[in-house]
């Protein structure tokens, strides 16, 4: 792969649209390599080639009457076709709605109806299953009123649907309002109810051109992309490829052994992913599957990050650091490779330029310095509101401060640490216990691969601490060993788990977050 990476200044006027920035990126970074690898093999292309193909599909969408304001849903994996289609939707000025591939007819139908999508792009099959047939059945049973077109990537293509192959037409650059919607993404949910998050061209470009993220590092950037295409992080990763010309290898589906080999094969220097993915790479390095010698930096987020994981990566020669954000406000804080290990392991970095935060109590009032509070944010990359506008009333404080629902604290040097989710606090005997603190200690046990802590109802105490763990192959763990481990860690006795459940794997969102509501449902 070549060693180029570009960072361009964000101009005014028409440049404040995704379509203009992607088109400019296709010209400016035409020769920058992009590799897609997955079940169908490996496809090597360039940013210029990808944008040229996307313009052909964008022209076809325009020929179907699709343009600014129209919502186009794309439910594809992290494939070349997915990148082309997502870029095409943005190029024609329409509203891009990425949908995670695991959603079935119930979730998909809800999103299509609420979003008012006029077109849907899906794969023919998913892991051998007839996905397009499932969509055809859903559409026949309850066709969303707005849906006009269903496009299918691959074969076979059900009757009444359009094949993506050969879809092309003359493209005319659009001129959408920079403050109009450009992306609608549904939170994939650590709770049961997804919410439609609306972003404008301006808010997405504020994220893409954040001075803290478009910085020159001490090394040449060649990145591994492993976030799913239906997740906001996957989409933002694609946009960074197109706009900034970052040489990238995109992995269709997470496979730690394959990912580790890709790092070595393409001499990749940078990665970003969830804790489970960084841990997977480190496991492969320990097995000798790959050296990871080229990997100079790994940013980890999208889920709670145990300090022990960052310390393990550092010991393995990979400087890793934490970041914090959400679908609503994509990047709020981030560490850097230059931060000391203690800050990289135990904090979520400093607040990014252009973003403001406050820490507030239950009444929305600022808490004293050094005291934990709910994090509220605002800034250029903040979303404009939910599709269901009734949700906005609880989401914002006066002054358009967004209530993240996360609890955190700021240290004297300006580093932010997420200590818990408001709804994840375990209240035992009237005392608040941070589930994240329990999880971090449990994750330090040598037998544990993944950890979660939840509060289960208790008649006497209100709630008791339940630890859920995934163990390393061949390892064993019981409650007595957990109690001894917590005692050695020096935690207060009431924070020690009173129940232990061993599971083979954690229920997770496509971005890697543990779905605690599903764990609670299983254990109640």
State how far the Cα of 5 lies from the Cα of 2, in Å rounded to an integer.
9
Residue 431 has pLDDT above 70, yes or no: no
Beta partners for 366? 360
Mean pLDDT of the 171-191 span: 85
Mean pLDDT of the 228-257 span: 92
Check the CA dihedral 235-237-239-242 and report its sign.
negative
State how far the Cα of 287 lies from the Cα of 97, in Å rounded to an integer.
39
Give the single-character DSSP code of 133: H
Mean pLDDT of the chain: 89
Q: At 220, is the secondary structure helix, strand, or coil?
A: coil
- When comparing pLDDT for 219 and 462, which is higher? 462
> pLDDT for 243-264, tens place per residue?
999 999 999 989 999 999 999 9
Residue 78 confidence (pLDDT):
94
Percent of the chain with pLDDT over 90: 68
How is residue 485 written in tokens? 């481990």
pTM recorded for the entire structure = 0.82
> Which helix (H) or strand (E) is 323 found in, with range?
strand 320-324
State how far the Cα of 209 lies from the Cα of 381, in Å rounded to an integer.
10
> pLDDT for 37-82, tens place per residue?
998 899 999 999 999 999 999 999 999 999 999 999 999 999 999 9
Per-residue b or e along 310-346, where b marks 16 or more CB atoms closer than 10 Å to that residue's CB? bbbbeeeebbbbbbbbbbbbbbbbbbbbebebebbbb
Q: How confident is the model at residue 7 (pLDDT cuts 50, 70, 90)?
A: very low
Nearest-5° angle of CA 213, CA 215, CA 218?
125
State how far the Cα of 102 lies from the Cα of 231, in Å rounded to an integer.
11
Residue 511 confidence (pLDDT):
65
Q: What is the DSSP string of 398-428?
A: TTTEEEEEEEEEE-TTSBEEEEEEGGG-EEE
Kindly list the structural domains of the chain, giving each domain's residue range(s) and its CATH number in brackets, ordered by start.
45-176 (3.40.50.980), 206-421 (3.40.50.12780), 427-523 (3.30.300.30)
Mean pLDDT of the 227-246 span: 91
486 near 478, Cβ under 8 Å? Answer: no
- When comparing pLDDT for 192 and 179, which is higher? 179
State how far the Cα of 419 lies from the Cα of 403, in Å rounded to an integer.
15
Q: How confident is the model at residue 153 (pLDDT cuts 50, 70, 90)?
A: very high
Residue 92 confidence (pLDDT):
96
Phi, psi for 186 (deg, rounded to 5): -95, 125
- For 176, half-sphere exposure in the C-beta direction (CA atoms, 13 angstrom radius) is 27
């Amino acid at each position: 792969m070549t060693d180029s990476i570009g960072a361009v200044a964000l101009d005014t006027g028409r440049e404040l649209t995704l379509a203009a920035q992607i088109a400019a990126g296709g010209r400016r970074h035409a020769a920058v390599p992009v590799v897609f690898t997955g079940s169908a093999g490996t496809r090597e292309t360039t940013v210029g080639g990808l944008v040229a193909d996307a313009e052909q599909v964008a022209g076809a969408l325009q020929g179907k009457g699709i343009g600014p304001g129209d919502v186009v849903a794309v439910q594809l994996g992290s494939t070349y076709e997915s990148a082309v289609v997502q870029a095409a939707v943005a190029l024609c000025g329409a509203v891009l709605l990425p949908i995670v591939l695991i959603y079935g007819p119930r979730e998909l139908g809800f999103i299509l109806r609420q979003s008012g999508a006029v077109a849907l792009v899906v794969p023919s099959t998913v892991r051998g299953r007839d996905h397009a047939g499932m969509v055809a059945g859903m559409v026949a049973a309850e066709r969303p009123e707005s849906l006009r077109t269903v496009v299918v990537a691959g074969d076979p293509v059900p009757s009444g649907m359009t094949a993506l192959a050969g879809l092309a037409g003359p493209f005319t650059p659009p001129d959408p309002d920079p403050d109009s919607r450009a992306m609608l993404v549904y939170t994939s949910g650590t709770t049961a109810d997804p919410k439609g998050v609306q972003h404008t061209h301006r808010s997405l470009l504020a994220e893409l051109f954040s001075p803290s993220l478009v910085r020159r590092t001490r090394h040449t950037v060649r990145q591994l992309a492993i976030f799913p295409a239906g997740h906001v992080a996957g989409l933002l990763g694609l946009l960074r490829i197109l706009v900034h010309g970052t040489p990238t290898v995109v992995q269709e589906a997470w496979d730690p052994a394959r990912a580790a080999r890709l790092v070595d094969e393409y001499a990749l220097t940078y990665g970003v992913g969830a804790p489970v993915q960084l841990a997977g790479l480190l496991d492969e390095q320990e097995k000798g599957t790959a050296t990871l010698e080229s990997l100079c930096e790994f940013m980890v987020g999208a889920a709670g990050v145990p300090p022990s994981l960052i310390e393990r990566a550092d010991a393995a020669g990979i400087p890793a650091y934490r970041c914090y954000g959400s679908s609503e406000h994509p990047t709020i804080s981030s560490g850097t490779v230059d931060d000391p290990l203690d800050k990289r392991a135990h904090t979520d970095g400093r607040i990014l330029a252009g973003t403001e935060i406050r820490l507030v109590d239950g009444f929305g009032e600022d808490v004293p310095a050094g005291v934990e509070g709910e994090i509220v944010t605002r800034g250029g990359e903040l979303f404009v509101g939910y599709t269901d506008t009734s949700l906005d009333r609880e989401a914002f404080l006066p002054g358009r401060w967004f209530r993240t629902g996360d609890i955190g604290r700021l240290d004297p040097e300006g580093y932010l640490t997420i200590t818990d989710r408001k709804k994840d606090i375990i209240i035992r005997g009237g005392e608040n216990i941070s589930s994240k603190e329990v999880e971090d200690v449990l994750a330090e046990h040598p037998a544990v691969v993944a950890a979660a802590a939840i509060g289960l109802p208790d008649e006497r105490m209100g709630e008791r601490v339940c630890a859920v763990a995934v163990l390393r192959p061949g390892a064993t763990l019981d409650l007595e060993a957990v109690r001894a481990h917590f005692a050695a860690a020096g935690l207060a006795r009431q924070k020690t788990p009173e129940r232990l459940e061993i599971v083979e794997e954690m229920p997770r969102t496509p971005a890697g977050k543990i779905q605690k509501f599903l764990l609670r449902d299983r254990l109640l």
